[in-house]
Amino acid sequence: MAKIAYYPGCSGQSTSVEYDLSTRAVCRELGLELVDLEDWSCCGSTPAHTVNHVLSAALSARNLALTEQLGMDLVTTPCPSCLSNLRTAAHKMEDADFRAKANALLDTPCTKQVTAQSVLQVIMEQVDPELIRAKVVKPLTGLKLACYYGCIMNRPPALMQFDNHEHPMVMDNLMTMLGAEVVPYPLKVECCGASFGVPRVDIVTKLAGKLLDAGRELDVDAFVTACPLCQMNLDMRQGQINSALQEKFRIPVFYYTQLLGYALGIDRKELGLKKLCVNPKPVFNKLKETAQAS
Amino acid sequence: MKILDLSAGDRDFLAEVESRSGQNLKTCYQCGNCTAGCPYTFAYDIPVSQVMRLIQAGQREMVLNSKSLWLCASCQSCTTRCPNEIDVAKVMDVCRHMARESGCVSERTTKLFTDAFLQSVETHGRAYELGLMARYTLKSGRFFDNIALGPTALLHNKLSFKPHPIQGKEQVARIFERFRKGE
Amino acid sequence: MSAQDEQRELRIVGFLCNWCSYGGADTAGVARFIQPTDLRIIRVPCSGRIDPLFIVRALLNGADGVLVSGCHPRDCHYAEGNFYARRRLEMLKRFLPITGIDERRFEYTWVSASEGQRWQHVVTEFTRRIHELGPAPFFNPVSEEEWAKLALDGAARGASCACHG
Amino acid sequence: MRIGVFICHCGSNIAGTVDCESVVEIAAGFPEVVYATDSMYTCSEPGQEGIITAIHEHNLDGVVVASCSPRMHEPTFRRAVERAGLNRYMFEMANIREHVSWIGKDKAHNTNKAADLVLMAVEKLRRNRPLVAKSFTTVKKVLVIGGGVAGIQAALDCADGGLDVVMVERDQSIGGKMAKLDKTFPTIDCSSCVLGPKMVDIAQHEKISLYACSEVESVSGYVGNFSVTIRRRATYVDWTKCTGCGVCTEKCPSKRSPDPFNEFLGTTTSINIPFPQAIPKKAAINPDTCMKLQKGKCGICAKVCPVGCIDYEQQDELVTVEVGAIVVATGYDLFDWHKYPQYGEGRYPDVITSLQYERLLSASGPTGGHIKRPSDGKEPKNVVFIQCVGSRDRSVDRPYCSGFCCMYTAKQAILTKDHIPDSQSFVFYMDIRAPGKGYDEFTRRAMEEYGAQYVRGRVAMIYPHGDQLIVRGADTLAGTQVEVPADLVVLATGVEASQGAVKLGETLRVVPDQFGFFVESHPKLKPVETNTAGVYLAGACQGPKDIPTSVGQGSAAAAKALGLLSKEQLESDPAVSKVNVNRCVGCQKCIDTCPFGAIKAVTDRMGRLKAEVIETVCQGCGICTVTCPQGAIQLEHFTDNQILAEVNALCPPKMNNVSFE
Ligand SMILES: Cc1cc2nc3c(=O)[nH]c(=O)nc-3n(C[C@H](O)[C@H](O)[C@H](O)COP(=O)(O)OP(=O)(O)OC[C@H]3O[C@@H](n4cnc5c(N)ncnc54)[C@H](O)[C@@H]3O)c2cc1C
Ligand SMILES: Cc1cc2nc3c(=O)[nH]c(=O)nc-3n(C[C@H](O)[C@H](O)[C@H](O)COP(=O)(O)OP(=O)(O)OC[C@H]3O[C@@H](n4cnc5c(N)ncnc54)[C@H](O)[C@@H]3O)c2cc1C
Ligand code: SF4
Ligand code: SF4
Ligand code: SF4
Ligand code: SF4
Ligand code: SF4
Ligand code: SF4
Ligand code: SF4
Ligand code: SF4
């Protein structure tokens, strides 16, 4: 089994436990051994870099240093926001002066060049697609999905260096591989409102509402996401959006790992499906119907 | 509307933003592509392209007092599409740093949230969401904004009642400590 | 008159290609871009015409500095003359220290016919550098003759000398 | 040698900061100087007369003028000394204005420097020798490469002026981009109505031979005597027989061949005549799609052709022609807008290029002149134009302005309203560049009379919504973001160097700039000349140009070619390289390095290999001189001795007690 350092990120312990759970389950099933960074700390998320770039880099670099201590040079995380911070820190620390400044804030300096990648990238690049195809036991046939990537998974392209930055396709391809019908969702990289859910609910309801609307327009059964913040804004806040915009959205919003895990036949409990706020039951009912019909 | 005396523009401001962001802002030719793509334009008081313009014109006060700085989500759409390859999001970030440093806070709630978040990280080593929400709610006085979410989140076991402190939380606290000392 | 003006002039020789840099120096003149007066310019058709031997000769003869300037890399009037020039001059720069000549006394650059401002900058900077280095040290006549021979030999050997590739 | 020195005051231009009298005094003491004087304006008529008189009176055989830059007046003074009976190469100039009086304030330093420069000139002059230009005859024939409107104009002007013309066109028909246009700004007259007759003239002019489906393979020789090899691509049709009747194209069963003439908006048959007014009007087979050539099945065209001119076995053919001058008119291509992923990379069929839109507007286009959008054939109501796509954008390495897209966008907005009166056009622009006669009025009309809504700002993204496209841009004048639901989006894609321009440039020794546009000899004073004598530029191959300017340049290039070849004989510049056969060891290094192929290997009487310079080809760069390990090949007028004499004048070897000479 390929061993890879794993950084779950704070949200993986609260608002997106199901993402963390399903990621671990799926990776195990696909032969990727995730080695948790012992005693990892918060990457600082958006707040840190809006305050200071050295502080932000240091918070991330503590985790890069932990990766280094494991003797590894690649750390993977499910969360695009953590990813963006880890990659930015790693990139900035290519500059010796900057590295010295960031290290000066740390107890244990980060001396090596460590890179970060999303779990999605690792799965897409390190797992043989044939293996995935072969392992599908419950295809997603009959499901109509919109893949929503969020704003920072692939941007800015020079930093992220993965997939097309205006029109990413990897999740689309993965879902198609699992048998689902993927609609050409036009707002794949539009921002969902990010962390403004707390200080400015009005902003999030407007932006996330627009995203849900575009999905409804295309008559999708569900959204697929890869970001805890996106998922939360679309799922947990769907009720809030409905009352703010006088709408009646009821569209389940999955993490791609949940649907992948389902197709691979992983036990539902391990996928944390119960944690979803918009009840995904209609989706699974539909899947059952198509399965029975064929 | 405020009338600008261009000759009184603060050239040092432009120079400072340029050196702190590493961007050459003189290349901005006001095409508006950043504003065109910015999802937050509807909430801004000054659209991002005009922020760039005002920096060029050395309008320190107008820029640092702009609400837009606090509403930028760092979504990178501007940076990704600028025809002059300006890292616009970074410029917004740098202006926000400068605003903070000079005590200009035109979006109090955003700042409070940021502070609460970092406070939480400093205390526990990780973000403790329920705790930070509580702290934010107390400080901002905005009890009702997200109250509706409480039941939804708790019902689905989304928020944990206990923080997840880490062993190395002192190490993290020291990062903040050293940072403040260095400032 | 300032102290700078009164300062003793040093001997700086410039080799400029006719099409670009000589024109650039003209443009600087037309625009009245004031420059130090130490430099004297020798006009050649192309930077590719500049034999490293000329430069070595000037330096051995006691020039305090030599400045070469040609067209920008893709701009050469003769298609690729400056490309040859660049290769030869790069070799020369490496060869100079072996002869005991401070390689900072020699510089090559690219200035186009429209870049008067750039020319002014180049001349001013180079002259400042030479003044910092001071007058070239006097050569021991004996070893100098040897060096002159060596340099000329180098030119003659051609085949093995990369300057003449 | 008896040398005379003339120091010019240039009014106060020089005399203001140089003590001219002192310079005269010092110069009088230089070796072999027998006469030195100063003069108020040396280039003026009395000034020149002064030189001539002095040459006669003092029996001078060499002259130095210390004045302005030789780039300014060297030709003037060379003519003057020639009038006095001297060889024009027995003259040297010292630049004491641009390089001395105008850039230094210290009169003492300046005077000293001026004297040094005069000494250098004297020392060089002492080693000059008279050079005599060789004359040679020329071929009275011109090659025009590229049959767009610029090339057509150049060819017709040359032919009308009495020269034979060979036109080489890469495509199947001449006409270039203009043949694809519907109407043209600023007059909105029909493009094919003005261009068509000129194309016919090309076909019918007795002095013009046209090679379509052809490219220039190689060029050798020099001004007045180029030898050009042309590759004629196989068309599988014998064009000497084809009448252009079109029977074959009607019957060809392979109807899915790409249609470049219609900018790939539709498909066409494998055997095809690109458009009704094509010149030459001949059929050609696309070998990539023809079933006979691909799979050996079909052969219908051969059966139906009434004159039996189909030849499936035809091969490329090489033709060699001798010409005296070459006009390059290879035009431009359009930027590949797929580099902008935010505009859909081709996923949305209703996002098209400006040139595709011209085909939709054109009555002879794939929709018969009805604007139908590609996705569903519906007539669009909201049409959005986006300017500067692939222009003025560093992020895609296209920092320059494409020059004419502002104008054609205004034209297309006007034509849209003409075609669909209840339509609304929106034009996203950054600046409007309309500097020609009647141009600004034209763009104003698009806004004022035709109601096109101009929006100042770029477009960040386009995405589908229902059967429309949402165009999200900025209106920087209103200071906010804007959205337009569009039925059709037309991109004013920028201008790029034509494909293969860099390679053609190598063949012709014409330098392309960093974007592939050919570099003119002087940006203001020699706009259609190149640095290779006898090769001229016309049209958009030199940089973005609209039709009037392209045509103007076509005529200008023709005038240059006519002027060149109107002389019975040409003179070559004698300041070229020369081989000393006694020293030459035949190593051929010079042959390898000469960028102009001006040196050839010859064997002497003893059968030994020697280098020989072809005087008329040599451009006088001196690269060979530096290359030669034997010092055998010397550039006349800039020999090693002459340049070293200048070095020695500046840094006398005696300074170090060593003498080299
Ligand atoms: C959408 C659009 C609308 C326009 N509308 C107008 C308008 O209304 N008014 C106006 O003034 N201008 C207009 N223009 C500009 C106009 O197209 C150009 O000014 C004009 O075509 C330039 O002519 P040209 O002969 O230099 O180049 P081209 O038209 O590009 O002709 C070049 C020719 O050379 C051939 N060629 C290229 N390479 C080779 C080679 N290696 N060997 C042999 N042949 C070669 C090509 O096949 C082509 O036939 C428009 C342009 C566009 C894109
Ligand atoms: C302030 C300014 C700055 C400029 N800078 C630039 C620049 O930097 N670069 C650039 O490319 N262009 C520049 N231009 C434009 C430039 O001046 C013109 O492009 C150029 O001068 C046009 O040349 P011309 O020969 O057509 O006309 P003109 O220069 O006007 O020459 C016309 C000549 O005809 C003579 N004449 C007029 N009527 C008669 C008559 N009836 N009989 C006999 N003789 C007559 C006039 O006396 C004159 O000598 C500038 C213009 C201005 C005003
Ligand atoms: S996109 Fe870039 S050039 Fe355009 S206005 Fe914004 S910062 Fe300026
Ligand atoms: S990074 Fe900020 S300014 Fe730029 S587009 Fe996103 S929200 Fe707007
Ligand atoms: S020769 Fe030159 S320097 Fe002398 S008057 Fe004429 S322009 Fe002036
Ligand atoms: S049928 Fe024959 S003659 Fe007629 S166009 Fe075709 S090839 Fe030419
Ligand atoms: S042989 Fe080829 S070109 Fe001729 S009719 Fe058949 S498919 Fe068409
Ligand atoms: S001509 Fe107009 S549309 Fe074209 S590149 Fe220039 S400014 Fe842009
Ligand atoms: S490089 Fe010199 S020696 Fe060699 S062939 Fe040429 S001229 Fe003769
Ligand atoms: S000087 Fe020499 S290298 Fe230059 S063109 Fe003439 S022969 Fe060729």
D122-165 pLDDT per residue, tens: 999 999 999 998 889 999 999 999 999 999 999 999 999 999 99
> Which one of B79, B102, B125 terminates a domain?
B102
Per CATH, is D141-233+316-331+498-565 categorized as 3.90.190.20? no
pLDDT bucket at A247, cuts 50 / 70 / 90: very high
Distance between CA atoms of residues D363 and D533, nearest Å: 44
Question: Is C126 a member of any domain?
Answer: yes
**CATH superfamily for domain D333-496:** FAD/NAD(P)-binding domain (3.50.50.60)
Q: Encoding tokens for residue D318?
A: 């090489």
Question: Is C82 a member of any domain?
Answer: yes
**Residue recorded with tokens 């960031």:** A102
Question: Is C121 a member of any domain?
Answer: yes
Residues lining ligand 10, Cβ inside 6 A: D 576-577, 594, 596, 598-599, 613, 618-624, 635
> Which one of B102, B130, B146 terminates a domain?
B102
pLDDT bucket at D532, cuts 50 / 70 / 90: confident
Residue B32 to residue D392, Cβ atoms within 8 A: no
Q: Where are the alpha helices (DSSP H) in chain C?
A: 3-6, 21-30, 52-60, 81-95, 116-133, 141-157
pLDDT of residue D469: 97
Instruction: Look at residues D258, D459, D265, D488 and name the one whose alpha carbon lies nearest to residue D355.
Output: D265
State yes or no: chains C and D have 3 or more CB pairs below 8 A: yes
Q: What is the pLDDT averaged over residues A264-268?
A: 94
Chains in contact with chain C (at least 3 beta-carbon pairs closer than 8 A) = D
Which residue numbers of D have CB closer than 8 Å to A's CBs?
341-342, 344-345, 347, 461, 463-466, 470
A187-203 pLDDT per residue, tens: 999 999 988 877 888 99
Instruction: Note whether D301 and D235 are within 8 A (CB).
Output: no
Task: For chain B, count helices (H), then strands (E).
Answer: 11, 0
Residues of B with Cβ-Cβ distance to D474 under 8 angstroms:
31-36, 47, 49
Question: Is C150 a member of any domain?
Answer: no
**Average pLDDT score over chain D:** 95
Distance between CA atoms of residues D140 and D567, nearest Å: 10
Query: The whole model's pTM is what?
Result: 0.84
Residue D523: cis peptide before it, omega within 30 degrees of 0:
no
Residue nearest to atom 3 of ligand 7 (CA): D271
Map out the domains of chain D as residue ranges.
Answer: 3-125, 141-233+316-331+498-565, 247-304, 333-496, 577-636
Instruction: Note whether D137 and D322 are within 8 A (CB).
Output: no
When CB atoms are compared, the residue of D341, D466, D470 closest to A166 is: D341
Whether B177 and B89 share a structural domain: no
pLDDT bucket at D272, cuts 50 / 70 / 90: very high
A136-156 pLDDT per residue, tens: 999 999 999 999 999 999 999
Q: Does A51 contact chain B (CB < 8 Å)?
A: yes
Phi-psi region of D254 (alpha: psi -120 to 50; beta: other; left: phi over 0): beta
Distance between CA atoms of residues B69 and B73, nearest Å: 9
pLDDT of residue C159: 33
Q: Atom of ligand 7 at shortest distance to CA of D236?
A: 3
Number of structural domains chain B divides into: 2
* Residue span of the structural domain in which C49 resides: 10-140
pLDDT bucket at A282, cuts 50 / 70 / 90: very high
Chains in contact with chain A (at least 3 beta-carbon pairs closer than 8 A) = B, D
* Residue span of the structural domain in which B169 resides: 108-181
**Nearest chain D CA: its distance from A3 CA (Å):** 35
Per CATH, is D3-125 categorized as 3.40.50? yes
Whether B112 and B131 share a structural domain: yes
Whether B59 and B116 share a structural domain: no
Answer whether D490 contacts ligand 8 (Cβ < 6 A): no
pLDDT bucket at B141, cuts 50 / 70 / 90: low
Question: Is C62 a member of any domain?
Answer: yes
pLDDT of residue D514: 82
Question: Is B1 a member of any domain?
Answer: no
Residues 6+ apart with CB under 8 A from D260: D171, D274
Map out the domains of chain A as residue ranges.
Answer: 2-121, 137-293
Among A182-186, B64-68, B100-104, D357-361, the range scoring the smallest mean pLDDT is: B100-104
Q: A137-293: which CATH topology?
A: Rossmann fold (3.40.50)
Q: What is the CATH number of the domain that holds C125?
A: 3.40.50.960
**Nearest chain B CA: its distance from A265 CA (Å):** 23
ipTM of the complex: 0.83
Distance between CA atoms of residues A148 and A164, nearest Å: 13
Choice from D584, D614, D626 to test ligand 9 binding pocket (greatest atom count within 8 A of CB): D584
Instruction: Note whether B177 and A268 are within 8 A (CB).
Output: no
Per CATH, is A2-121 categorized as 3.40.640.10? no
Q: Between D566 and B140, whose confidence is greater? A: D566
Distance between CA atoms of residues D204 and D182, nearest Å: 25
**Nearest chain D CA: its distance from B103 CA (Å):** 27
Residue D341: cis peptide before it, omega within 30 degrees of 0:
no
Answer whether residue B148 shows pLDDT above 70: no
pLDDT of residue A248: 94
Whether B63 and B126 share a structural domain: no
Answer whether D290 contacts ligand 7 (Cβ < 6 A): yes
Q: Angle of helix D547-566 relative to helix D149-160, nearest 10 degrees?
A: 30
Whether B84 and B155 share a structural domain: no
pLDDT bucket at B140, cuts 50 / 70 / 90: confident
Pairing of strands D284-285, D271-272: antiparallel
Q: Atom of ligand 5 at shortest distance to CA of D69?
A: 2
Residue D393's alpha-carbon distances to B81, B140, D429, D488, in angstroms, are 10, 44, 13, 23
Whether B81 and B155 share a structural domain: no
Q: How far is ligand 3, taken at its centre, from the CA of residue B68, in Å?
A: 16
Instruction: Note whether B91 and B52 are within 8 A (CB).
Output: yes
Give the CB-side neighbour count of residue B132, counting CA atoms within 13 A.
28
Question: Is C162 a member of any domain?
Answer: no
Question: Is C163 a member of any domain?
Answer: no
Answer whether D252 contacts ligand 7 (Cβ < 6 A): yes
Running along chain C, 165 residues long, what does each successive block of 10 average in pLDDT? Answer: 58 93 92 95 94 90 93 71 84 81 92 88 96 79 48 43 37
Instruction: Note whether D593 and C84 are within 8 A (CB).
Output: yes
What is the DSSP secondary structure assignment for residue A233, as one 8-state letter?
I
| Highest averaged pLDDT of the listed ranges B2-16, C136-150, D349-363 | D349-363
Asked if D141-233+316-331+498-565 and D333-496 have one fold, the answer is yes
pLDDT of residue C149: 53
Whether B59 and B130 share a structural domain: no
Whether B142 and B172 share a structural domain: yes
A40-60 pLDDT per residue, tens: 999 988 888 989 999 999 999
> Which one of B102, B118, B150 terminates a domain?
B102
